Amino acid sequence: MSSYVPRIPLSHLHPPPPENQSKPTILLLHGFPSTSYDWRHQIPYLSSLGYGIIAPDLLGYGATSKPCDITAYKTKSMAAEIISILDAEGVDKVHAVGHDTGCTLLSRLADYFPERLLSCVFLDVPYMSPAVKFDLDTVNNVTRNILGFERFGYVGFFAREGSGELLDRFADSFFTLFYPHNPSLWTSHLCPTGAIEEWLLSDHRAPLAPYITEEEFKTHQKLLVGHHASALNWYRALVSNINVEDEEQARITPSLSMPVLLVCPRKSSLEMPGLEEGMRAVCAGDLVVRRVSTTGHWVQLEAREEVNRMLGEFFEGMRT
């Protein structure tokens, strides 16, 4: 993140100052396997409302730095680097939006730098509590007992040495699995342990998601293929529990004092019970929970108009 080079036109990331100078800046934090390109539908819309936008390629992705050492992917240091970007842009406070693993970084931004956030928006993934040791075997057992299948079996593959090279080798197969026409494909071909390896090595292809054009598919592959290994360091950091010591020493209380919006897909077999209740437990301030009409993980792409409207209403509502 030390070399901050946007992957979308600079004019979209830093639009001219709005006529209404009272409107703040919105920070967009993408997940895996993405870059700032995943905000292509939100940036024009939010800019048209007069908000400034900062949408960096996060560490290991796109045009930014790609260190091999997983200690570089500590969320405490990555959060501090985001703050350094805000400082460099002369931005004091932001509305911060995260998706997927970007929600993990958003969680730590809210913990370490709450004074810099006007609000938090979590897309599909909730706030992640600090200082919790991640044990994949336990997670797999719990989700198997609750859902009937392992929900996060793919994490073990992502954290394994050589997984990035396999994703590069079977990039088209991986893309159609991660952006599927039918989201229920994940229950059998992504979530269970070993399923994604079998899918890739067989070079399976699923129908392309209807919300992805052929041009968008090619752009995504151009940005990600050859760089999956560095992006997967986020998962290696998770499995290695490299953040626990920092978070224990910081004595972080899992509490969100700022207004929070949680946007989720329509309920499906992939959702763990208690999602909304868990968010309410950590929100000391206002919490708004909204659901889009689709069931897929990529709400900002698949349900772009709904997500844009929800974001606009949420941000504008704080101005009244």
Between CA 100 and CA 129 the distance in angstroms is: 15
Over residues 243-283, the pLDDT tens digits come to 999 999 999 999 999 999 999 999 999 999 999 999 999 99
pLDDT at 26 over 70: yes
The per-residue pLDDT of the chain, averaged, comes to 93
What letter represents residue 236's amino acid? R
CB 160 within 8 A of CB 167: no
CB 119 within 8 A of CB 316: no
Over residues 89-123, the pLDDT tens digits come to 999 999 999 999 999 999 999 999 999 999 999 99
Residue 22's pLDDT band (boundaries 50, 70, 90)? Answer: confident
Beta bridge partners of 97: 28, 121
Between CA 130 and CA 71 the distance in angstroms is: 17
At residue 21, the pLDDT reads 61
Domains annotated for the chain, with CATH where assigned, are 12-133+245-317 (3.40.50.1820), 136-239 (no CATH)
Question: For 113-134, what is the mean pLDDT?
Answer: 97
pLDDT at 9 over 50: no
pLDDT at 293 over 50: yes
- Cβ count near 58 (within 10 Å): 26
Tell me the C-alpha to C-alpha distance, in Å, between residue 271 and each of 125, 147, 151.
10, 8, 9
Helix extents (H) in 179-243: 186-189, 195-201, 214-224, 228-231, 233-240
H or E segment to which residue 287 belongs: strand 287-291
Helix extents (H) in the chain: 10-13, 42-48, 75-88, 101-112, 136-147, 154-158, 163-169, 171-178, 186-189, 195-201, 214-224, 228-231, 233-240, 244-250, 275-282, 299-302, 304-317
Over residues 49-63, the pLDDT tens digits come to 999 999 999 999 999
Between CA 261 and CA 244 the distance in angstroms is: 26
Between CA 313 and CA 268 the distance in angstroms is: 25
Q: Which residue has the tokens 């994940």?
A: 186
> Residues 6 or more apart from 11 whose CB is under 8 A from it?
none
Question: For 73-96, what is the mean pLDDT?
Answer: 98
CB 93 within 8 A of CB 117: yes
Between CA 168 and CA 200 the distance in angstroms is: 10
| Phi, psi of 37, deg, nearest 5 | -60, -25
Tell me the C-alpha to C-alpha distance, in Å, between residue 31 and each of 16, 101, 298.
27, 5, 10
